[in-house]
Amino acid sequence: MLEVKNLKTQIDTDAGIVHAVDGVSFTVEAGQTVAIVGESGSGKSVLAHSIMQLNPKPPAFYPEGEILFEGKNLLKLSEKELRKIRGNEIAMIFQDPMSSLNPVFKIGDQLVEAILTHQKMSRSKAKDRAIELLKDVGIPDAQARMHDYPHQFSGGMRQRVLIAIALACNPKLLIADEPTTALDVTIQAQILELMRDIQKKYGTAIIIITHDLGVVSQMADKVLVMYSGRIVENGSVNDIFYRSSMPYTWSLLRSLPRLDATAHERLINIEGQPPNLVSPPKGCNFHPRCPFATEKCLAVDPQLTVRGEDHWAACILSQQEFDEKKEQFRISEDKRGVPIHD
């Protein structure tokens, strides 16, 4: 359904050209859920906005690459052609529902507007469709709540309304950018369950962008790990969680809080800071923070290489070398009395 080929998204700033997305390639199949994970600043949201062509041009520009949606290169389409695809075939759920919903219009009016923009139907039928959508996303007393304003809904209910607006035209691809970040864990679980139910009902493909690996484990079929604008590992949930082949992915997993941790165990963080995307480091972008870095990492810019069936990682270490390094690191931490999380 979607094929991104060697996409580069650059942003012209006063400090220089920011290489926000740097040679990203991946595919999304019909009905599949693909999770994009990484630290803040890794390029996840810019990648999502690039697919939707929502990055302002200028300062954003695309020196290389293709974004093929059902064979059409979105980078080559006019704004008028893109408007037919946005909302109608590809929809997006943004992170903060309060800033995405217009506070001076009723929820029902905003839903009806989204439907009428893309669908040829009467206003009365659009209103019926809006009520049906609110019911689908679990809004109680949907007909009455059509007349309420965004501030009259809780955070979780506002997120449900955003999902309803995104589903207004039965899109083939739904992009969810941190859809549960501002919600408590109970509401988060409800929203994720809702997205799964919607996917089963409509057969929608989903790209979910998150830094929460717990969400990934529940939702994803395939995982893309991003670092400094690049995909550094790509594989199934089992590959990423149990057979990670890139030190950054392994470091992310080790930094997760654990329910079985004892009171004296500290949270293991990734040392250092993400690189400056105006002037990335030479060689491997992760080498200044990597516990396994060698002098070769300063000279070689690793590309994604096959580590298994549908599993790729960008690291100069072979899987055997990586496993040996992890074991040596584990022994070293054990001697220093550092809690072992692997």
Give the residue extent of every domain in the chain.
Answer: 1-89+172-342, 97-168
- 124: three-class secondary structure by DSSP: helix
Q: Which of 251, 223, 288, 246 is nearest to 37 (CA)?
A: 223
pLDDT tens-digit series, residues 30-61: 999 999 999 999 999 999 999 999 999 999 99
pLDDT of residue 11 exceeding 80: yes
Tokens of 266: 């500290």
Average pLDDT of the segment spanning 103-132: 94
Q: How far is CA 203 from each of CA 98, 160, 195, rounded to the nearest angstrom?
A: 28, 18, 11
Q: Provide the CB-side half-sphere exposure for 145 (13 A, CA).
A: 22
pLDDT tens-digit series, residues 259-277: 666 655 566 788 899 999 9
Average pLDDT of the segment spanning 210-228: 92
Q: How far apart are CA 19 and CA 11, in angstroms?
A: 7
Identify the CATH homologous superfamily for domain 1-89+172-342.
Answer: P-loop containing nucleotide triphosphate hydrolases (3.40.50.300)
Let me know: does 150 contact 123? Beta carbons within 8 Å.
no
State the helix-helix crossing angle for 123-136 and 107-118, rounded to 10 degrees. Answer: 120
Instruction: State the pLDDT at residue 339.
Output: 52
pLDDT tens-digit series, residues 169-198: 889 999 999 888 777 888 888 888 988 988
- For 283: left if phi > 0, alpha if psi spans -120 to 50, otherwise beta; the answer is left
Q: How far apart are CA 25 and CA 186, in angstroms?
A: 34
